């Protein structure tokens, strides 16, 4: 390694040394002694009750001891975070991004060293934050790019260079990637194609992928051309779709496309895969897959044409497909595919044919077709009025009315002024009719109405507007009631898979406290590794102090997932013992996102019932 790398290593050593000294000042002999005493207290309390995951300590001296310990540990944590922040600010890449041009000679020296580890470390310092890549480009001085770009030809560095340049959209990377791809020498063709497709402007790359006279070792046909279809210019999109349409027209669909192989389930027209292709002359073939998967290239093309194509292209592909399956010997398969594909082709039919498809939905036997049809219609938005009426008439013909179908109906029609009139006229089942009208009313409520509702049922008092909470970016439902709950500061949503390992229950409990409208103030928390834990016990412990008590929780080790059962038990135990009548009540979402509402249980349960907030398995059609 060069002198610059030696100097870099020395600087790193000094930073570590300074950090250790600072930590040593805080982490005194007293803290070690306190830690030992606390673990001894916990061992005494938990003796014979190893399976218990929550303990309450009430002894004043012990609570005061743990309170001091939490304060000291959190101060130590804050100091360490500040040191890391300072160390990051002093890193070479961070200084360069802030405009320090004196760093350029050092950066060039690292690039010239060809040291893979040193270059990777430099790239980590230089790269943009994740969100920043959506808004801007990392601009590098020409002298740096002059040394950096040729490194793409180094086999041991190519992947690192490609990822860094593509992720940060460094000016000039498109031309560099095109040249590397067309050279045929790249060992990272898949990643180069990915970044070029993500940008979508490289017509040379599209020509390379679809030109039968170009010989390619590997091209991720479905995935990367799909990226160009999403991000490309109108000219590029037309070129790809014409290419795909031509493949479908020249390659008849075969009956074998829809039968099992040892490694795959039955494939139907709604299931598409991505495949690798080679081109040789004007014959397109696929390598590295079974014959079944080679044939599914055609299905992949059909999928892309119907996702992005114009009416003319879709019509051509539809006719080619239907003509091919007319020759199938298996009549049941033929009927199933035709009926199934009528949904895929739905928007290409005139209103009378669309009505016929709706009326014959009961013939479709795959993939919960009524739900698929509702999704398809909801995407179209501009169908003839008589088509919507046909859908209303069809509703009561479904063998079992399920809540999710009512949900679909309401969402499809929620902006129609005559929704109530149509429901009253065509929905015969009284329970279904009532549910649809109620849902329609809920999705069209105003914020003023839902603000008043949560006041009227006593979830909040009249001053709740004074509490300002930003509406979450994530919500699994678009009901207006959630906006009122967010504003009132009594609804919290989060991913139960945290960004920390182990999951940071101490930070989570402080987030919950923020959503109690000030009724839980003064809560302190700290989570740490549990040393000398009994056999078969968890290796993490969480201390939470509130007023004159300390709560000790041993969360299950689920990696970066929160132990929500034990956590909620802890949280509501604190609330109950504090004499607070509200608690955190779960809204069942059906997935890994959690939602809790803070309030008196009876009132929250009323809200959940009135707005049907809990997800149920019936929504999936089980």
181 and 206 both lie in a single domain: no
Return the percentage of the chain with pLDDT > 70, whole number: 73
Residue-level pLDDT at 298: 75
- Asked if pLDDT for residue 7 goes beyond 50, the answer is no
Residue 421 lies in a domain: yes
Cα gap 509→567, rounded to integer Å: 8
Residue-level pLDDT at 524: 92
295 and 359 both lie in a single domain: no
Cα gap 560→495, rounded to integer Å: 11
Instruction: List pLDDT tens digits, range 324-363.
Output: 888 888 887 787 777 777 777 777 788 898 888 887 765 5
CB contact set of 491 (below 8 Å; sequence gap of 6+): 482, 485, 515, 595, 596, 597, 598
397 and 502 both lie in a single domain: no
Show which of 444, 471, 487 is a domain's final residue.
Answer: 444
Residue-level pLDDT at 406: 54
Instruction: List pLDDT tens digits, range 86-141.
Output: 777 778 888 898 889 999 999 999 999 999 999 999 998 888 875 544 567 889 99
Higher-confidence position of 7 and 225: 225
268 and 394 both lie in a single domain: no
Residue-level pLDDT at 331: 85
- In this structure, which long-range contacts are made by residues 484-489, counting pairs with CB atoms below 8 Å and at least 24 apart in sequence? 484/447, 484/450, 484/451, 484/453, 484/454, 485/454, 485/597, 487/451, 488/454, 488/459, 488/460, 488/464, 488/517, 489/464, 489/514, 489/515, 489/517
Residue 504 lies in a domain: yes
257 and 367 both lie in a single domain: no
Residue-level pLDDT at 535: 58
Residue 366 lies in a domain: yes
Whole-model pTM: value is 0.62
Cα gap 564→555, rounded to integer Å: 9
Range with the poorest average pLDDT among 371-380, 402-411, 483-492, 494-503:
402-411
535 and 611 both lie in a single domain: yes
Higher-confidence position of 617 and 388: 388
130 and 218 both lie in a single domain: no
Q: Is there a contact between 317 and 305 (Cβ–Cβ < 8 Å)?
A: yes
Range with the poorest average pLDDT among 430-434, 437-441, 617-621:
617-621
Cα 588 vs. chain centroid, distance in angstroms?
19
Question: For the chain, what is the domain count?
Answer: 5
393 and 315 both lie in a single domain: no
Residue 116 lies in a domain: yes
Residue 54 lies in a domain: no
CB contact set of 540 (below 8 Å; sequence gap of 6+): 502, 527, 528, 529, 530, 554, 555, 557
Residue-level pLDDT at 25: 44
Cα gap 414→478, rounded to integer Å: 12
Q: What is the mean pLDDT of residues 152-165?
A: 94
Residue 193 lies in a domain: no
Range with the poorest average pLDDT among 172-181, 198-207, 372-381, 564-573:
372-381
459 and 438 both lie in a single domain: no
For 428, the domain range is: 349-444
Q: Is there a contact between 70 and 543 (Cβ–Cβ < 8 Å)?
A: yes
Read off φ and ψ for residue 279, nearest 5 degrees: -125, 135
| DSSP code per residue over 208-223 | HHH-TTS--S--BHHH
Instruction: List pLDDT tens digits, range 264-320.
Output: 444 444 344 444 444 444 455 445 555 665 666 677 777 788 778 888 888 888 888
Residue 342 lies in a domain: no
Question: Could you tell me the two tokens for 500?
Answer: 């920390």
Instruction: List pLDDT tens digits, range 21-53.
Output: 444 444 454 777 888 888 888 878 777 665 567
398 and 540 both lie in a single domain: no
213 and 315 both lie in a single domain: yes
Cα gap 56→393, rounded to integer Å: 60
pLDDT confidence tier of residue 618, bands split at 50, 70 and 90: very low
Q: How far is CA 221 from CA 199, 203, 301, 493, 528, in A?
A: 16, 15, 9, 39, 49
Residue 495 lies in a domain: yes
Show which of 186, 210, 243 is a domain's final residue.
Answer: 186
Instruction: List pLDDT tens digits, range 545-602.
Output: 998 899 998 888 788 888 888 898 898 889 888 888 999 999 888 778 888 999 999 9
Residue-level pLDDT at 9: 44
pLDDT confidence tier of residue 214, bands split at 50, 70 and 90: low
Range of 165-169, 229-233, 238-242 with top mean pLDDT:
165-169
Strands in 310-379 per DSSP E: none
Residue-level pLDDT at 619: 44
CB contact set of 418 (below 8 Å; sequence gap of 6+): none
3-state secondary structure labels for all residues of 272-311: CCCCECEEECCEEECCCCCHHHHHHHHHHHHHHHHHHCCH
Higher-confidence position of 520 and 202: 202
Show which of 412, 444, 476 is a domain's final residue.
Answer: 444
605 and 456 both lie in a single domain: yes
Cα gap 151→113, rounded to integer Å: 11
Q: Is there a contact between 581 and 575 (Cβ–Cβ < 8 Å)?
A: no
Cα 264 vs. chain centroid, distance in angstroms?
26
């Amino acid at each position: 390694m060069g002198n610059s790398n030696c100097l870099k290593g020395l600087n790193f050593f000094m930073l570590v040394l300074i950090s250790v000294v600072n930590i040593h000042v805080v982490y005194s002999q007293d803290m070690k002694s306190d830690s030992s005493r606390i673990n001894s207290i916990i061992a005494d309390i938990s003796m014979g009750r190893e399976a218990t995951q929550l303990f309450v300590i009430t002894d004043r001296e012990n609570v005061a001891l743990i309170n001091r310990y939490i304060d000291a540990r959190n101060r130590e944590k804050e100091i360490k975070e500040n040191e890391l922040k300072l160390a990051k600010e002093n890193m070479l890449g961070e200084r360069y991004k802030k405009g320090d041009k004196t760093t350029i000679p050092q950066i060039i020296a690292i690039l010239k060293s060809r040291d893979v580890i040193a270059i990777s470390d430099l790239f980590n310092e230089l790269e943009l934050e994740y969100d920043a890549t959506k808004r801007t480009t990392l601009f590098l001085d020409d002298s740096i790019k002059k040394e950096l770009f040729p490194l793409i030809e180094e086999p041991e560095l190519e992947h690192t260079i490609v990822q860094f340049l593509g992720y940060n959209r460094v000016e000039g990377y498109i031309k560099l990637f095109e040249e590397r791809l067309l050279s045929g020498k790249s060992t990272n063709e898949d990643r180069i194609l990915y970044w070029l497709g993500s940008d979508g402007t490289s017509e040379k790359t599209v020509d390379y992928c679809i030109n039968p006279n170009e010989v390619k070792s590997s091209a991720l046909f479905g995935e990367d051309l799909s990226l160009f279809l999403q991000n490309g210019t109108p000219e590029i999109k037309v070129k790809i779709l014409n290419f795909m349409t031509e493949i479908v027209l020249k390659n008849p669909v075969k009956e074998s496309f829809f039968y099992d192989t040892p490694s795959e389930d039955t494939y139907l027209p709604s299931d598409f895969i991505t495949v690798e292709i080679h081109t040789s002359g004007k014959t397109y073939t696929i390598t590295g897959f079974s014959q079944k998967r080679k044939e599914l290239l055609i299905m992949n093309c059909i999928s892309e044409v119907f996702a992005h194509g114009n009416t003319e292209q879709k019509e051509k592909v539809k006719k080619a497909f239907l003509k091919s399956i007319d020759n199938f010997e298996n009549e049941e398969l033929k009927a199933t595919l035709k009926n199934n594909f009528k949904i895929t082709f739905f928007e290409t039919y005139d209103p009378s044919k669309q009505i016929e498809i709706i009326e014959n939905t009961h013939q479709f036997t795959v993939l919960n077709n009524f739900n698929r049809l509702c999704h398809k219609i909801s995407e179209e938005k501009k169908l003839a009025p008589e088509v919507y009426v046909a859908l209303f008439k069809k509703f009561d013909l479904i063998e079992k009315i399920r809540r999710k179908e009512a949900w679909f109906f309401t969402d499809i029609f929620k902006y129609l002024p005559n929704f109530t009139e149509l429901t009253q006229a065509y929905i015969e089942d009284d329970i279904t009719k009532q549910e649809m009208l109620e849902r329609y009313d809920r999705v069209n409520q105003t914020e003023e109405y839902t603000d008043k509702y949560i006041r009227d049922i006593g979830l909040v008092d009249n001053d709740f507007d004074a509490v300002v909470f930003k509406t979450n970016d994530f919500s699994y439902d678009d009901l207006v009631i959630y906006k009122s709950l967010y504003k009132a500061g009594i609804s919290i949503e989060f991913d139960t898979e945290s960004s920390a390992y182990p999951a940071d229950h101490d930070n989570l409990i402080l987030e919950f406290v923020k959503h109690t409208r000030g009724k839980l103030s003064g809560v302190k928390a700290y989570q740490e590794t549990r040393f000398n834990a009994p056999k078969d016990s968890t290796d993490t412990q969480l201390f939470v102090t509130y007023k004159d008590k300390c709560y000790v929780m041993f969360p299950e080790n689920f990696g970066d997932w929160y132990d929500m059962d034990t956590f909620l038990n802890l949280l509501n135990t604190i609330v109950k013992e504090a004499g607070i009548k509200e608690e955190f009540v779960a809204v069942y979402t059906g997935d890994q996102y959690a939602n809790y509402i803070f309030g008196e249980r009876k009132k929250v349960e009323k809200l959940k019932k009135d707005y049907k907030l809990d997800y149920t398995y019936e929504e999936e059609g089980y």
